[in-house]
Structure 1
Amino acid sequence: YTLIAMAFLIVVVLLSRKIESSRFGMALIAIKQNEAAAEAAGIDSLRWKLRAIAVSGAIAAMAGSLYAVVILVITPQSVFGMLVSAQALTVAMFGGIGTFWGPIIGAGFLIPIAEILHAELGSILPGIQGVVYGVAIVVLITLAPEGIFWKVRDWMGSARKKAEPETHPAALPLEEIAVEPREFTPAADGSDIVLDVRNMSKNFGGLKAVQDVSFQVRRGMILGIIGPNGAGKTTLFNLLNGFQTPTSGEVFVNGKDMARCKPHVLCRAGVGRTFQIMRPFTRMSVRDNVRTGAYVRAGSEAEAAEVADDALRQVGLSAIADRLAGELTTKELRLMELARALAGKPHTLLLDETLAGLGRDEAAEVVAVIRRLSASGMTVAIIEHTMQAMVQLVDRFLVLDHGQVITEGPPAEVTKNPHVIEAYLGKKWSAHAED
């Protein structure tokens, strides 16, 4: 019996290790850490969750077959009792969530303590095993919410960071960013339209967040979407890549209506996305974060790794590819999210306030990356409040206010529009524009 149990243990450990480093494991970790970012990277969370339930059920069935032999008499309490459920969950969580080492660490630490106390004090203190698992839960809640494995790793990371000199630049007010002007010439026949939004509206009860918005984005164009806070800019992005369903209207991606498709479907159709509030998978390395985005196109692990490395080179993060995402600076996180979107090989990128929180030099680096991508044929729609950068970066502006389009056009025209100045730019910008 012991040999059979050990054989099952080895099989499960090897299977868990294989899953952890595979597309399956990457998807599950990504879903756990940030489901919205996982969906935007092309991961079908429902499909992977169902697979996880099936695999977990199979492993639990194997364990149950051995457990029945040990206890000999099967009763509801012995199989489904509170102590049994608490033991299984606490052991896995105590060791570390999201790593195959977690259950091994938890079982190796908690079960011997519980069994020794039960053997020595069980007759005096019935239920002493439950006390052990109860204390473990208290430790989890107060000291190590993700388990001992991650707590120790965080301590090691903190010690390493303290030993390294601080080199991160402080955020500075963004001034003018030097970008060479360029000419953008759309195709006369409209054959280069990659994103066509028609009469898009979104209501939340009585609130009209987006009202009858229509615009087109052409291949290689950089479209800047601007407007005051609450104008509906991020809601518009959520409609464009499937996080919200429009009340009415259509979104054509390369001629196909995809207004009601899920985010992972739109990712596969070539629409990449970054977020206003950064959404890294903090417990993954930078390379694994980007590799997660590559799986939507890659047919093998080797191809995914190659695509991820190429995306990291494009944004200049190859040197820190093995660092945990949770240890990165704001600029590095912004570039990593951009690389993760690029790994899906999109034709269109939706960038939501990519320059937010960056210093002048850092923002210049990100702007340079965006320009290089556009020059290679990438279509970009970007939401940003930093007008000094946007005026020099974009080919056209789309201006929103209260969910409606105020105007659309080249930067030189839009920045002098009195309605835009009144609603968003302010009188100081009017004087600047005249100069």
Structure 2
Amino acid sequence: MQTLRSLALPLLVAAVYACIALVVTNSYYQLMLTLVLVWASFGLGWNILSGYTGLVSFGHAAFFGLGAYTTALGQLYFDLTPWLLIPAAAGVGGVAGLLVGLPTFRLRGHYFALAMLAYPLALLYVFEWLGYQELTLPIKREAPFTYMQFTDPRFYTLVALVMLLAIVAITRAVERSRFGMALLAIKQNEAAAEAAGIDTLNWKLRSIALSGAITGAVGAFYAVVLLVVTPSSVFGMLVSAQALTVSMFGGVGTVWGSLIGAAVLIPVSEILHAQLGARIPGIQGVVFGIAIVAVIIAAPEGVYWKVRDRLRRAGPAAAPTPAAPARVDLAAPSTPARAQRPDAWRTGKVLLSVKDLSISFGGLKAVQDVTFDIYEGMILGIIGPNGAGKTTLFNLLNGFLCPDAGEVLFDGRNMVGSKPHVLCQAGVGRTFQIMRPFPRMSVRDNVRVGAYVRAQSEEEARRLADDAVDRVGLSAVADKVAAELTTKELRLMELGRALAGKPRLLLLDETLAGLGHGEADEVVAVVQRLAREGVTIAIIEHTMQSMVRLVDRFLVLNHGAVLADGEPEAVTRNPQVIEAYLGKKWVAHADA
């Protein structure tokens, strides 16, 4: 229902566009109206992958060209109707997307973009080598409708309009689903998405398959409209550049970006090509190049986002959101938190057992033969000087790094080699030393991403997210965009995102970093309450005054090795720990 409501404006725009198409009789302008829709559809196909995951593709001409040749070869050799060949081209594009994605998603950033560029260039030479330099679709005067060869060019525009509306509906459905949320999370912070339980490779493969399917179908229709297919016209660099440009000009990551870009750039480039193409070959490429430069300078995120942000700033200022205290019971600073809850962990079972864990980076032994156990219900504090290997240890525990040796047994199962999303599904939640929010999402949506690992439906994900937001005391700012939060709110939001997945073990990496004394007390109180609720926690922190009243045991690391392991009173008086980490000032403070 929400998706249908979101289509109201596109349907209105489509109705207006259809009325314009019906009154235009000039065949050239009618073709231009059709091409605007074709390139808008192509841009939306590109956007499904690059707009929502942030992985820029220079290679979508590969899917477009395969779709075009599916139609051309299907008519030439099998006399099939385009009404069947266009869906078949979508299937070809989807399979091609999977075949391209499997090896190429191993790459990141500009390496991914350049690798994608290789596919259409390779296919261009392959089809030329096969002898398909120019294919002309056969004229079918006896059954023009069956073969989509309309005498009235307005029918092409109407068919293209229906295709575009279908693609818009698919895009809207993706945006409002777990699929879209996963893609946006990957785009904004892939490591955080993986730690929240999102199988990033799986979702990216789904994205490129859907993107390839849409693009293949558009390429098939393009061949029907032009009746001539050549390798350079469907696999050439300008083809991918046009899809990329119309989306970037209008704004990536939104339905409206491709529509705006195509409506502005395609008529300009086509008119200039018709008027100046003979004197200035390649004028279309010049137009798209100028458009990219202009948008980078004036509106880096695209016209749509620039206009939307300006309208929001021009609108009435929102009333300030009253700060709401966290839903916590603050323990007195002088009272050990562990005295306020039962020590059931002492007789509980081992939840996490680490045995002889080691990893080296070149000649640096970052973690050396580390062995310890975490019991259910325990709070383990991991401390040590900077560079001691604490965060590296966490990265080993939740799958971001694979150890050179040793075991990580979670509930008796060796998890070495498992990816972060697998460990999250098993029950290991994680926050980060350097905060990793999804900045363009609201607090509620950030936390909802973490809920998907347990939720079976959107309703359950929202319920789990709302509960987690309430548990960390952020209900008052739940609809606020993450980029506008304070450091304390961001720390609590990350904690809420981890909690939404209902973890059995929570890894907190310097949750108090960057907080003032009062803010730190609030966050400590949240952790205390979670411990009283039975959540098992391992926490890295340098704020010892908070740690000694929070944890049940300390694990002290120095140069990657275990220096001490025991209860706070014993560890904080250990001469080796004092010398390596705490210092004499701590002893004087503790005695006082």
Match of 2:446 in 1: 289
Judge conservation of contact 2:353–2:408 (CA < 8 Å) in 1: yes
In the alignment, is residue 4 of structure 1 matched against residue 159 of structure 2? yes
What does residue range 10-409 of structure 1 map to in structure 2 within 5 Å? Answer: 10-155=165-310, 177=333, 181-183=337-339, 184-186=342-344, 191-409=348-566
Judge conservation of contact 1:179–1:393 (CA < 8 Å) in 2: no
The residue identity in structure 1 corresponding to 2:203 is W
Partner deviation per Cα, 1:197-232 (whole Å, 9 max, x = no partner): 111111112211000111111112111111111000
Query: How far apart, CA to CA, are the structure 2 residues paired with 1:293 and 1:346?
Result: 10
Judge conservation of contact 2:345–2:377 (CA < 8 Å) in 1: no
3-state SS of paired residue (1:251): strand
Match of 1:172 in 2: none
Query: How far apart, CA to CA, are the structure 1 residues paired with 2:296 and 2:381?
Result: 44
Query: How far apart, CA to CA, are the structure 1 residues paired with 2:481 and 2:310?
Result: 13
Query: How far apart, CA to CA, are the structure 2 residues paired with 1:66 and 1:98?
Result: 24
Aligned-residue offset at 1:395: 1.4
Aligned-residue offset at 1:276: 0.6
3-state SS of paired residue (2:338): coil
The residue identity in structure 1 corresponding to 2:464 is V
After alignment, is 109-118 or 247-256 more displaced? 109-118
Query: How far apart, CA to CA, are the structure 2 residues paired with 1:274 and 1:161?
Result: 36
Partner deviation per Cα, 1:293-340 (whole Å, 9 max, x = no partner): 111111111111111111111111122222221121111111111111
Aligned-residue offset at 1:131: 1.9
Query: How far apart, CA to CA, are the structure 2 residues paired with 1:120 and 1:322?
Result: 51
Aligned-residue offset at 1:150: 3.2
Judge conservation of contact 1:93–1:147 (CA < 8 Å) in 2: yes
Match of 2:567 in 1: 410
After alignment, is 146-155 or 133-142 more displaced? 146-155
Judge conservation of contact 2:378–2:536 (CA < 8 Å) in 1: yes
Aligned-residue offset at 1:256: 1.2
Aligned-residue offset at 1:112: 2.8
Judge conservation of contact 2:321–2:477 (CA < 8 Å) in 1: no
Aligned-residue offset at 1:188: 5.7
Query: How far apart, CA to CA, are the structure 1 residues paired with 2:185 and 2:532?
Result: 31
After alignment, is 87-96 or 123-132 more displaced? 123-132
The residue identity in structure 1 corresponding to 2:293 is V
Partner deviation per Cα, 1:357-378 (whole Å, 9 max, x = no partner): 1112211111111111111000
The residue identity in structure 1 corresponding to 2:382 is I
Query: How far apart, CA to CA, are the structure 2 residues paired with 1:274 and 1:163?
Result: 31
Match of 2:578 among 398, 421, 424: 421
Judge conservation of contact 1:20–1:100 (CA < 8 Å) in 2: no
Q: Number of matched residues?
A: 427
Judge conservation of contact 1:272–1:342 (CA < 8 Å) in 2: yes
The residue identity in structure 1 corresponding to 2:404 is T
Partner deviation per Cα, 1:133-168 (whole Å, 9 max, x = no partner): 112222343444433333344445666898777999
Aligned-residue offset at 1:120: 4.0
3-state SS of paired residue (1:399): strand
3-state SS of paired residue (2:549): helix
* 292 and 181 in structure 1: CA distance in 2 versus 1, 3 angstrom threshold: closer
After alignment, is 219-228 or 262-271 more displaced? 219-228
* 233 and 159 in structure 1: CA distance in 2 versus 1, 3 angstrom threshold: farther
* 103 and 268 in structure 1: CA distance in 2 versus 1, 3 angstrom threshold: same
Match of 2:120 in 1: none
* 423 and 217 in structure 1: CA distance in 2 versus 1, 3 angstrom threshold: same
Judge conservation of contact 1:91–1:103 (CA < 8 Å) in 2: yes
Query: How far apart, CA to CA, are the structure 2 residues paired with 1:307 and 1:247?
Result: 37
Aligned-residue offset at 1:432: 1.3
Partner deviation per Cα, 1:401-434 (whole Å, 9 max, x = no partner): 0001110112222111111111111121121122
Judge conservation of contact 2:248–2:257 (CA < 8 Å) in 1: yes
Match of 2:68 in 1: none
Query: How far apart, CA to CA, are the structure 2 residues paired with 1:251 and 1:133?
Result: 53
Greater radius of gyration (CA): 2
Provide structure 1 residue ranges, at least 5 long, that are not aligned to the other structure: 169-175
Percent identity between the two aligned chains: 67
Aligned-residue offset at 1:104: 2.0
Query: How far apart, CA to CA, are the structure 1 residues paired with 2:435 and 2:425?
Result: 21
Query: How far apart, CA to CA, are the structure 1 residues paired with 2:407 and 2:248?
Result: 45
The residue identity in structure 2 corresponding to 1:32 is K
Judge conservation of contact 1:186–1:218 (CA < 8 Å) in 2: no
The Cα RMSD (Å) is: 2.2
Query: How far apart, CA to CA, are the structure 1 residues paired with 2:246 and 2:223?
Result: 20
Partner deviation per Cα, 1:383-402 (whole Å, 9 max, x = no partner): 11111111111111111000
The residue identity in structure 1 corresponding to 2:343 is T
* 108 and 364 in structure 1: CA distance in 2 versus 1, 3 angstrom threshold: farther
